[in-house]
Amino acid sequence: MKEISVTIDLGNGDKRQETFQVSNVIVVGYGGRNIEKVMEHIHELEQIGVSPPSTIPAIYPQKLSSLTFNDSIRVNGGETSGEAEYVLFNDGNEWFVTVGSDHTDRLIEKEDIQKSKEACPKPLATLFWKLKDVEQHWDELILRSWITDNTGRRMYQENNLTALLPVHELLDKLREFGYENLSNTIIFSGTVPTLEGFVYGSKFEYELEDPVLNRIIRDEYSIVVEEVSAL
């Protein structure tokens, strides 16, 4: 188990502190709602050497130690990038949602997607919403991210959640794949398209906006590259 301390936004300006126990971390890949677009993306990746997944969506279990709330992460090599994703968590009683980044090593991804996910930490925001508070307007929630590289800061992703599988459909898929008990499990949803392809920068900012209730969960981290020395 890994213990995490978070803040629950109860609405109307009220918040409470919670300590949760996390037993598993799951990253979902190819979680788009439009299967034709998903297949198009799979074929694009095949052209650069990335093997197609065995299931759609694909499930990539991660180590508990991959979760981080730090404001910087360390990676090996310069070809890594973040992905803004909605993140689900159930404490055994109710569901919560927040935002995280499935930071991934794009060089390793060409050889082994599971290892490319394991190669990088998984940043997570510390502010959570109750899922029941946003379910009725779920598709109106917006994922965004910004990248900063040597040319400056610019938007990297922006899409509402119509681009991704709805919560209950995603959970049904996980149960189909054998994940019957999802209590105490952090679930990264899969990401929305980038605006210009992969960019390898020094800072990644990401957010989940609720325009109906007028609130935002936002976080950021810097990326420190540790070059791998030659043998």
pLDDT digits (tens, 9 = 90+) for 100-125: 999 999 999 988 999 999 999 999 99
Task: Report the predicted TM-score, pTM, of the whole model to 2 decimal places.
Answer: 0.94
pLDDT in tens, 162-199: 999 999 999 999 999 999 999 999 999 999 989 998 89
User: At residue 231, does pLDDT exceed 70?
Assistant: no
Share of the chain above pLDDT 70, in %: 97
User: At residue 75, does pLDDT exceed 80?
Assistant: yes
User: At residue 77, does pLDDT exceed 70?
Assistant: yes
SS3 content of the chain, % helix, strand, coil (to 5): 20, 45, 35
